[in-house]
Every structure is written in structure tokens, then in C-alpha cells.
Structure 1
């Protein structure tokens, strides 16, 4: 899965306050307890968009589709987090940014795996550079 438009977020792109639905959205019957007030939340505070180490990218491809990352999904990337095995990361392979799940090889180097089994893992390369950890993904559901 490739990454397109990797960049920091500009001040003009930061959202304001978002109204919150009380409770949770139910797939069954509405809850009678949902009549109480929920204070609004700030999307930029929730995902730390104002932090200088947080970047935004757009995904392209289907290698991470089982993780809910599809073409057009916006990725929130935290460059200050230490990457750990199992994290979804943005990494550079031969100067090309990709979105993969991080793993370690038996020899101790990085392995980048796709959640889609149709794509083989990328391993045995010395030129894998982890750019940051994907902390949030935002997928549009309308064209």
C-alpha cells in the first residue's frame, strides 16, 4: 500500500469543535438513556493534530484493507512514537513511502507485512526507514 500526499497539517485545515452524539450509535434499538447532554469534543485535540510531530497522509491500495485502511483513507502519523512490533507504520523503502505492519525478522531486522495475505512481506532490506506510527485512520464512506 502506497502513501500519497504525506505532509504536516496546516493551521487552516484544523477543525473546530464537533458536536457529540450522546452515548454510542446503536445498531439495534435506540437507548432511552441517550437523552443526556454530551459536551462537544475537538477532533484536533483528540488526535493531537496541532503537535509538530503529527503528520497527515493519504493511503492508496488494498494491502492493508483488513485493517480498514483503503484507497483514500487519511492517516494520522505520529513521528514521536517509538515503533513497536505489531504497529501499523509508514515506512520508506527505496525512498517510497508505504503503509505496513511492523515486525522483526529472526535476524533482528525490520519486516514490513501487509494485512492482506495476497502481498508478501518485505524483509531483508537494509534501506527500510520507519517514518512514524499510524495512530488513527479516517476513511470516507461517501463518494
Structure 2
């Protein structure tokens, strides 16, 4: 999403999206014998989409945010009801294009900061058409 057209998807919430949830935590070392037991199902809609009317899925194009674990092809869960805050990762609209960046808010504007050093920061001020479209709440990755 390095200044491309934004493709927006709405979550399908007509039925719960329930998956089994293990009662324990995931260890990065040796498995626990208790991992064979499952607790109640986890509804992914309730977990990932707390504000259905203002939540959207956005597919990432580009690699400007790889330092934050956001890569090409990842799916962002963006909530437009969340108040943008200094340091948040957000989908922003700048001069007719969308981009995803970390936002550094200032009194006279903002800096949009990529987390890949190959990309320069973007300064936005009163001369730019700028809005924070929504705050990124989750990233869905597919490991190949």
C-alpha cells in the first residue's frame, strides 16, 4: 500500500466465525501435555471486529512497513471508530492516494513514517489534502 488505490472489504458478520481455542498459551519451546485439551470456541468476529459498522479489511501492497511486521499481501483490520493517536499505525489519505504508515502527530501537521529504511518519511501539513482514514488494529499474515 505504498500510495496505491485502496481496496476495501467489509467483514461478513452474519454468522459467528468460531474456531477452537486452546486453554493454554503457546510455548516456543517444548509442547505442554495440557495442549491436548480445548476450551470453548473463540468467535473471531467478536475478537477482531469490535466495531462492525466502522471496521474494514484492507489488503497491503508494498513493503514500506516491513519493520512493523506488515508485508506485501497482508490483510489489515482497520477500525475507523478508533481515535488516531500519536504513534499509531494507520491508513492515511494523502493528496488523492492511500498509504499505511506510523503517524507522528504534530501541532502543524504530521509525519507519516515507514518502518522500512528504504522509504523516506512523508511530511504532511496544511498544503496537503490529508486525513487519517482509520487505525490499524490487527494484521493477518499468511505464511507460505
TM range (shorter): 0.7 to 0.9
Residues 6-25 of structure 1 correspond to what in structure 2 (within 5 A)? 6-11=8-13, 16-25=17-26
- Matches of 1:7 and 1:19 in 2, distance apart? 25
TM-score computed with the length of structure 1 as normaliser: 0.86
Aligned CA-pair RMSD: 2.1
Alignment match, 1:118: 118
Q: Deviations over 1:54-84 (max 9, x none)?
A: 0110001111001111111001111011101
Q: Which residue of 2 aligns with 1:76?
A: 77
Residue 85 of structure 2 aligns to a residue whose secondary structure is coil
| 1:91 to 2:88 alignment | no
Q: Distance in 1 between matches of 2:42 and 2:124?
A: 44
Partner of 1:109: 109
Question: 1:44 is paired with a residue of what secondary structure?
Answer: helix
Question: Could you tell me whether the CA contact under 8 Å between 1:110 and 1:128 is conserved in 2?
Answer: no
Structure 2 residue runs of 5 or longer lacking an equivalent are: none
Kindly provide the CA deviation profile for residues 31-62 of structure 1, in whole angstroms up to 9, marking residues without a partner as x.
23434441110001001166110011000111
The 3 A distance-change label for structure 1 pair 94 and 114 is same
Give the aligned length: 140
The CA distance in 2 between the partners of 1:11 and 1:103, in whole Å, is: 33
